[in-house]
Structure 1
Amino acid sequence: MIQDKENDWFTEFKKGEEYKAFLKNPVAYFCAEYALESTLPTYAGGLGVLAGDLVREVALQKFPLISVGLFYKKGQNILSTEKILPKNKLKPVLDESGKEVIVSLPMENRPVKVRAWQWEDGGARVYLLDTDIPENRAEDRKITEQLYNEDRDMRLRQEILLGIAGFRLLAQLGYHPSVYHLNEGHSAFLALELIKHEMEHQQVDFKEACEYAKKHIVFTNHTLLMSGQERFSSDKVKLFIDPCAKEICLNQNEIAELGTLENNPDTFSMTNFSFKLSTKSNAVSRLHQEKSIEIWPNKNIENVTNGIFISRWDKVDGVSEKNIWATHLKNKKKLLDFIREKTGEIWNETDLIFVWARRLVEYKQPLFFLDNIEKLLEISKNSPIPIRIVFSGPITTEDNPFVLEIKKIIKEKLKGIVVFIPDYNTDIAEILTSGADIWLNTPMVGFEACGTSGMKAGLNGVLALSTQDGWVYEVEEEDIGWVINDSQNSEEIFTLVKEKIIPIYYAHLKNLQNSMWLKKMMRARNLILENFSTSRVLREYIEKLYIPIMKQKHTHKID
Structure 2
Amino acid sequence: MENNDNYSNWFLEFKKTEEYKAFAKNPVAYFCAEYALDSSLPTYAGGLGILAGDYVREAAMRGFPLLSVGLRYQKAQSVLSSKKQEAKNKLKTVIDKNNQEIIVSVPIGKRIVKAKAWLWEEDEAKVFLLDTDITENDPKDREISKCLYDENRDNRLKQEILLGLGGFRLLALLGYHASVYHLNEGHSAFLTLELVRHEMKHQRVNFRDACEFAKKHIIFTNHTLVPAGQEVFSSDKISSFIELCAEEICLNNKDITTLGAWESDSNIFSMTTLSFKLSTKSNAVSKLHAEKSKKIWPNQIIDFITNGINVKKWDKIVDTSIKNIWERHLENKRKLLTLVKEEVGEIWNETDLIFVWARRLVEYKQPLLFLDNIEKIIEISRNSPVPIRIIFSGPTGGNESPLVATIKKIIEEKLKGIAIFVPNYSTEIAEILTAGADVWLNTPLVGFEACGTSGMKAGLNGGLSLSTRDGWGYEVTPDEVGWVVNDSQNGEEMRSVVERNIIPLYFDHLKNPKDSVWVKKMEKVRSLIIDNFSTSRVLKEYIEKLYIPTLKQKHIHKID
Between 1:296-305 and 1:178-187, the stretch displaced more is 296-305
CA–CA distance in structure 1, aligned partners of residues 422 and 513 of structure 2: 31
User: Does the 8 Å CA contact 2:40/2:80 hold for their aligned counterparts?
Assistant: no
Report what 2:408 is aligned to.
Answer: 407
CA–CA distance in structure 2, aligned partners of residues 83 and 459 of structure 1: 27
SS of the residue corresponding to residue 159 of structure 2 reads helix
CA–CA distance in structure 1, aligned partners of residues 41 and 245 of structure 2: 32
Change in Cα spacing, 1:280 to 1:542, as seen in structure 2 (3 Å) is same
Report what 2:313 is aligned to.
Answer: 312
Superposed displacement of residue 375, structure 1: 0.3
Superposed displacement of residue 225, structure 1: 1.8
Aligned positions of 1:64-143 closer than 5 A: 64-77=65-78, 82=82, 84-86=84-86, 87-143=88-144
Aligned positions of 1:34-433 closer than 5 A: 34-77=35-78, 82=82, 84-86=84-86, 87-317=88-318, 319=320, 322-433=323-434
User: Does the 8 Å CA contact 1:480/1:520 hold for their aligned counterparts?
Assistant: yes
SS of the residue corresponding to residue 207 of structure 1 reads helix
Letter in 2 for 1:167: F
Letter in 2 for 1:461: G
SS of the residue corresponding to residue 317 of structure 1 reads coil
CA–CA distance in structure 2, aligned partners of residues 83 and 18 of structure 1: 40
Letter in 2 for 1:222: H
Aligned positions of 1:434-513 closer than 5 A: 434-513=435-514
User: Does the 8 Å CA contact 1:343/1:419 hold for their aligned counterparts?
Assistant: yes
Letter in 1 for 2:121: E
Q: Which runs of 5+ in 1 are unaligned?
A: none
Report what 2:19 is aligned to.
Answer: 18
User: Does the 8 Å CA contact 1:178/1:556 hold for their aligned counterparts?
Assistant: no
Letter in 1 for 2:548: I
Superposed displacement of residue 410, structure 1: 1.1
SS of the residue corresponding to residue 30 of structure 2 reads strand
Superposed displacement of residue 260, structure 1: 1.2
SS of the residue corresponding to residue 495 of structure 1 reads helix
CA–CA distance in structure 1, aligned partners of residues 136 and 21 of structure 2: 40
Task: Write the deviation string for residues 318-364 of structure 1: whole angstroms up to 9, x where unpaired.
Answer: 64994211111110000000001000011110110000000111100
Superposed displacement of residue 266, structure 1: 2.2
Between 1:186-195 and 1:295-304, the stretch displaced more is 295-304
CA–CA distance in structure 2, aligned partners of residues 101 and 397 of structure 1: 32
Task: Write the deviation string for residues 178-212 of structure 1: whole angstroms up to 9, x where unpaired.
Answer: 10000111000000100000001100000000000
Report what 1:533 is aligned to.
Answer: 534
CA–CA distance in structure 1, aligned partners of residues 451 and 425 of structure 2: 19
User: Does the 8 Å CA contact 1:321/1:519 hold for their aligned counterparts?
Assistant: no
Letter in 1 for 2:207: F
CA-based RMSD of the aligned residues comes to 1.3
Between 1:2-11 and 1:132-141, the stretch displaced more is 2-11
Superposed displacement of residue 519, structure 1: 0.2
CA–CA distance in structure 2, aligned partners of residues 84 and 58 of structure 1: 25
CA–CA distance in structure 2, aligned partners of residues 184 and 320 of structure 1: 43
User: Does the 8 Å CA contact 2:39/2:80 hold for their aligned counterparts?
Assistant: no
CA–CA distance in structure 2, aligned partners of residues 333 and 162 of structure 1: 42
Identity in percent: 66
Superposed displacement of residue 304, structure 1: 0.5
Superposed displacement of residue 553, structure 1: 4.2
CA–CA distance in structure 1, aligned partners of residues 262 and 507 of structure 2: 55
Superposed displacement of residue 147, structure 1: 0.6
Change in Cα spacing, 1:373 to 1:553, as seen in structure 2 (3 Å) is closer
CA–CA distance in structure 1, aligned partners of residues 267 and 192 of structure 2: 21
CA–CA distance in structure 2, aligned partners of residues 556 and 64 of structure 1: 18
User: Does the 8 Å CA contact 2:326/2:514 hold for their aligned counterparts?
Assistant: no
Aligned length: 558
SS of the residue corresponding to residue 119 of structure 2 reads strand
User: Does the 8 Å CA contact 1:2/1:530 hold for their aligned counterparts?
Assistant: no
User: Does the 8 Å CA contact 1:198/1:556 hold for their aligned counterparts?
Assistant: no
User: Does the 8 Å CA contact 2:371/2:377 hold for their aligned counterparts?
Assistant: yes
Task: Write the deviation string for residues 52-93 of structure 1: whole angstroms up to 9, x where unpaired.
Answer: 00110111111111000000010113x668574451101000
Task: Write the deviation string for residues 385-404 of structure 1: whole angstroms up to 9, x where unpaired.
Answer: 01100000111253411111
SS of the residue corresponding to residue 264 of structure 1 reads coil
CA–CA distance in structure 2, aligned partners of residues 504 and 13 of structure 1: 45
Letter in 1 for 2:471: G
SS of the residue corresponding to residue 558 of structure 1 reads coil
CA–CA distance in structure 1, aligned partners of residues 41 and 410 of structure 2: 32
User: Does the 8 Å CA contact 2:233/2:269 hold for their aligned counterparts?
Assistant: yes
Letter in 1 for 2:533: F
Report what 1:552 is aligned to.
Answer: 553
Report what 1:9 is aligned to.
Answer: 10
Task: Write the deviation string for residues 141-177 of structure 1: whole angstroms up to 9, x where unpaired.
Answer: 1111101100000000000000001000100100000
Change in Cα spacing, 1:285 to 1:455, as seen in structure 2 (3 Å) is same
CA–CA distance in structure 2, aligned partners of residues 337 and 499 of structure 1: 30
Report what 1:543 is aligned to.
Answer: 544
SS of the residue corresponding to residue 103 of structure 1 reads strand
User: Does the 8 Å CA contact 1:80/1:395 hold for their aligned counterparts?
Assistant: no
Superposed displacement of residue 301, structure 1: 1.1
Task: Write the deviation string for residues 389-432 of structure 1: whole angstroms up to 9, x where unpaired.
Answer: 00001112534111111111111111111110123221111000
User: Does the 8 Å CA contact 1:181/1:220 hold for their aligned counterparts?
Assistant: yes
User: Does the 8 Å CA contact 2:4/2:530 hold for their aligned counterparts?
Assistant: yes
CA–CA distance in structure 2, aligned partners of residues 352 and 542 of structure 1: 41
Q: Which runs of 5+ in 2 are unaligned?
A: none
